[in-house]
Structures are given as structure tokens and as C-alpha cells.
Amino acid sequence: MSQTQYDTLVSARWIITVEQDGEVLENHAIAIKDGQIAAIIPASQCASISANQRLELGHHVLMPGLINLHGHSAMTLLRGLADDKALMDWLNNHIWPAEGKHVQDDFVFDGSCLAMAEMIRGGTTTINDMYFYHAAMARAGLASGMRTFVGCSILEFPTNYASHADEYISKGMAERAEFLGEELITFTLAPHAPYTVSDATFRKVVELADKQDMRIHCHIHETADEVNNSVKELQQRPLARLQQLGLLSPRLIAAHMVHLNAEEIDIVARHGVSVAHNPASNMKLASGIAPVQQLLAAGVAVGIGTDGAASNNKLDMMAETRLAALLAKVGTLDPTAVPAATAIRMATLNGARALGIADKVGSVKVGKQADLIAIDLSALETAPAFDPVSHVVYAAGREQVSHVWVKGRCLLDARQLQTLDEAALKARGEDWRNRILAR
Ligand SMILES: CSC[C@H]1O[C@@H](n2cnc3c(O)ncnc32)[C@H](O)[C@@H]1O
Ligand SMILES: [Zn+2]
């Protein structure tokens, strides 16, 4: 019988599988073939394994790639432009005017490539995005090799991209058609928020999502003002309105969900809605603390997102995962809330569940695609290493991410980007800084 020839064999000191909470395999290897995890093998049996490439990561954790469940990648080019503001002041008086002046196709491509480089260097393998000029975002996804969910933004008011809701939808769907054969590119429908989208448009979104089998990605209950204004103007909380409009279903990824009562948590769970938790953005805009522990207890798939670089200001999923674990404890005054293994599950498998790709990625399992990262724990800052699960969440930083693979393709090798040109990205960023300052 002929022996299997694997593409890559990566052995590591520890593998965090995320199959069982806190499961760690010591001194094992992952064999990758045709982009898939083909075998998980004890290191002691690796000598007889044939592989085109072998990598021995003696001080590292291998684990599933991080899934950024809510972002606006191109906003890297607006990073640090308006800090220390409340959401509506930030949007109305700073971000939307800046977007009106600058956002177009090349802004989105350059900003998204910059974001993807940052995310890859921080161990993120999948981004669930929403912005404008979706073909540019998808091209950035193809250039970087990241698994990319492109949200077709929908608003009622005009922007550079489109002038009314129907135009946002038709342009977005036309751009989606260009990328239908691309396995790593998936389009979603992204109505911006209950306060910027009408009932009629939400109904169209639900119908289209059902017809085309698409996810829906929307900012919901981000601030107390959003909820209070809706009650004042419509005598209804936004979530109740969205429920009436048919939006609540397993298709929906609700970003933020900071202000929820017990009844709403139950409704979210019963409808199979997923939640993208954005701890840094919620803290920086002083939006509040999302009831993550209660959502998880109700069975909701809560993943983790960075939001955009203009409200975070990092696209650092390791930092975000740490914050998710810490903020849950402060929010509930319970130190057992969101333990490290749960935080890792949120940043990986829960994100995959939300996106409908948990059969493909999100954990280390034979047959899944090889979306994997390696984190080097040999640094002084992570010595000694008793428990890699604890270290990944509480002690390690993104600078310790050494390798990243998406579908078996190496995007980061010993901290070197393999698909994107770091110097060129920095130069383009500097160009945009000059252009933005000049207007
Ligand atoms: C239509 S999606 C892009 C749109 O959303 C804006 N945005 C970025 N972050 C947030 C946030 O936290 N809440 C609401 N809207 C946000 C972004 O500037 C784009 O205009
Ligand atoms: Zn957002």
C-alpha cells in the first residue's frame, strides 16, 4: 500500500483543538493535504510520515485561525482621525463627512489590503466585513488570501457609492456576481442599522437573503440612544421592530447587541441569531458592556469582532479576545464569566457558526480546511508556559503569531507576509494620509 504524501506537516508543542473546550494535544503534528487537515499525528510517529514540507514549532501553539466577526476593513485609512467621541457624534460629525470626501474604489482596496496585512500578522484568517465598493474589498481578499465575507452595505441616504437603498442593493448584487466562483469570497447583505434603514428595505433584505441564501450583517442595539430614540419615535425597541419585519433568523449576524433585556436575549436565542461582540469599540465609544455571559448561557453563538480601525483603533483579535474575557467579568462581577477556553471558542468556532462555515473551519479536526495559526510562546513575556489556553488569551500578544495558513496556503511565514507587500502597503497608507490632510 502506498503511503500518503502530505503537502505540509506542522508539528507543535501544543495544539488547541477547540473541538472540546480547553482540549490541548501535546507534541502532535497536523498534516495538511489539498488545503485540508488530513491527519493529526503524535509527534513520536512523525518520522515515517512523508511530506513535501516539514515545520517543527517546538515552542508554539497551533490552533484554528481567528475569525473577525465584525469589521470595516477600509477604515484603516481613517485610523485615529476622530477619537474619544460618542457614536453619533463620531459618525455624523467626523466619520461620515470624511467618508464623503474620500471613499471610492481605490480607498477601499488600499485600506482593505492594509487591514488584511494587519489582521494576518495578528492571526486572523477570516474577516466578516461591511463597507462600500465591494468588488475592491473582494479583490483585496483575493490578493491577501484571507477568507473574506464582503457585506453589501445598505442605507437609505446617499453616499459616494449609491444614492438610495435599491441602488445599494442592485450594485452590491452585481458586484457579488463577479465573484461567485471564488471559494474564499462570500457576499452578505449588510443593512447598516435600524436607524438608517427603513421597514420596506429590511423586508426586501429578508426576501433577497432567503432567495440567494445569504447571511445578513447589521449593527443592532449598539447604544442606549439607539434604543431610546426608537422607543420615542416608533414606540418600539429596534429588536422588536426587526422581529416583526422577519429579520431575526440564523441568517442574522447582529453586531454589538450591547443593550438587551432578558426577554430580548431569549428572543435572540430562540431565533438562532448570532452576535458579533466588539469589546474595544464598545468601550472606546462608551456604548456599554454587552451581556455576553447571558447570551452564551442562552445558547447564542457569540463571536468576536474588532469593528473598524477608526473606532478601536487596532484590528487585533488576540487583544479583543482578552478584552472579551475581562469585560465579561467586570460586567457581571463574576470572575468565572467567559473563561479563557470560552473566549478562544468565541474567537474561532463561534465565529464560524455565525457565518455558517463551522463544518469547514473554526476548529482543528480532520476533514476541515487548514485555516490555522501558530503562536510562539518562547518569549520572555510568556515564560513559563503552564497552560497554553491561558497564555493565548491572557499573556500572549499578536506579535507572537509566527505562522498563518488559510486553506493550507501560508500567508505568514516566521512573521513575514507571503501575499502582501508590507513596504508597499505602508507607502500607500502614507499617500492616503497626505491626500486626506490636503482636503
Ligand atoms: C454601511 S457599513 C459601513 C458604515 O458603517 C459605519 N460604521 C463604522 N463603525 C460603526 C459603528 O460602530 N456603528 C455604526 N456605524 C459604524 C462606517 O463609518 C460606514 O459608514
Ligand atoms: Zn461596525
Confidence of residue 2 (pLDDT cuts 50, 70, 90): confident
Q: How high is the pLDDT of residue 107?
A: 98
- Residue ranges per domain, the chain? 5-64+370-407, 66-355
pLDDT in tens, 402-425: 999 999 999 999 999 999 999 999
Question: Do the annotations mark residue 60 as ligand-binding?
Answer: no
Percent of the chain with pLDDT over 90: 99
Q: Are 15 and 61 in contact (CB under 8 A)?
A: yes
For residue 276 the three cell numbers come to 458579533
Considering every ligand atom shown, identify the ligand nearest to the alpha carbon of residue 220 and give its number: 1
Q: pTM, whole model, 2 decimals? A: 0.98
Ligand 1 geometric centre to CA of 8 (Å)? 40
Ligand 1 geometric centre to CA of 347 (Å)? 21
Percent of the chain with pLDDT over 70: 100
Question: Do the annotations mark residue 70 as ligand-binding?
Answer: yes
Q: How high is the pLDDT of residue 255?
A: 98
95, 167, 277: residue to mutate for ligand 1 pocket, most atoms within 8 A of CB: 95
Number of other residues whose CB lies within 10 A of the CB of residue 438:
6
Ligand 2 geometric centre to CA of 220 (Å)? 10
Confidence of residue 439 (pLDDT cuts 50, 70, 90): confident
Look at ligand 1, atom 19, and give the residue with the nearest C-alpha.
Answer: 131
> In the CATH hierarchy, which top-level class contains the domain 5-64+370-407?
mainly beta
pLDDT in tens, 207-250: 999 999 999 999 999 999 999 999 999 999 999 999 999 999 99
Residues by chain with Cβ below 5 Å of ion ligand 2 = 307
Atom of ligand 1 nearest to the CA of 155: 1
CATH fold of 66-355: TIM Barrel (3.20.20)
Beta strands in 34-88 (DSSP E): 36-42, 50-64, 66-71
Q: Are 147 and 126 in contact (CB under 8 A)?
A: yes
pLDDT in tens, 334-386: 999 999 999 999 999 999 999 999 999 999 999 999 999 999 999 999 999 99
Q: Is this complex's ipTM strictly greater than 0.95?
A: yes
Give the separation between CA 376 and CA 12, rounded to whole angstroms: 10
175-179: long-range contacts, CB 8 A cutoff, minimum separation 24:
175/134, 175/135, 175/138, 175/150, 176/134, 176/150, 176/152, 178/135, 178/138, 179/135, 179/138, 179/150
Considering every ligand atom shown, identify the ligand nearest to the alpha carbon of residue 70 and give its number: 2
Give the separation between CA 346 and CA 87, rounded to whole angstroms: 25
73, 91, 169, 315: residue to mutate for ligand 1 pocket, most atoms within 8 A of CB: 91
Residues 6+ apart with CB under 8 A from 158: 164
| 1: pLDDT strictly greater than 90 | no
Using DSSP, state whether 240 is helix, strand or coil. helix
Residues within 6 Å of ligand 1 by CB: 72, 87, 91, 95, 99, 130-131, 153, 155, 190, 192-193, 219, 222, 281, 307-308, 311
Alpha carbon separation from 124 to 155, 293, 307 (Å, rounded): 28, 23, 14
Question: Do the annotations mark residue 222 as ligand-binding?
Answer: yes
One-character DSSP codes across 361-407: SSS--TTSB--EEEEE--SGGG-S-S-HHHIIIII--GGGEEEEEET
Give the separation between CA 65 and CA 404, rounded to whole angstroms: 7
Atom of ligand 1 nearest to the CA of 95: 18
Give the separation between CA 400 and CA 391, rounded to whole angstroms: 11
pLDDT in tens, 241-298: 999 999 999 999 999 999 999 999 999 999 999 999 999 999 999 999 999 999 999 9
Provide mean pLDDT across the span 90-104: 95
Question: Do the annotations mark residue 99 as ligand-binding?
Answer: yes
Look at ligand 1, atom 14, and give the residue with the nearest C-alpha.
Answer: 219
pLDDT in tens, 113-152: 999 999 999 999 999 999 999 999 999 999 999 999 999 9
- Identify the residue whose cell numbers are 434604543: 227
Ligand 1 geometric centre to CA of 192 (Å)? 7
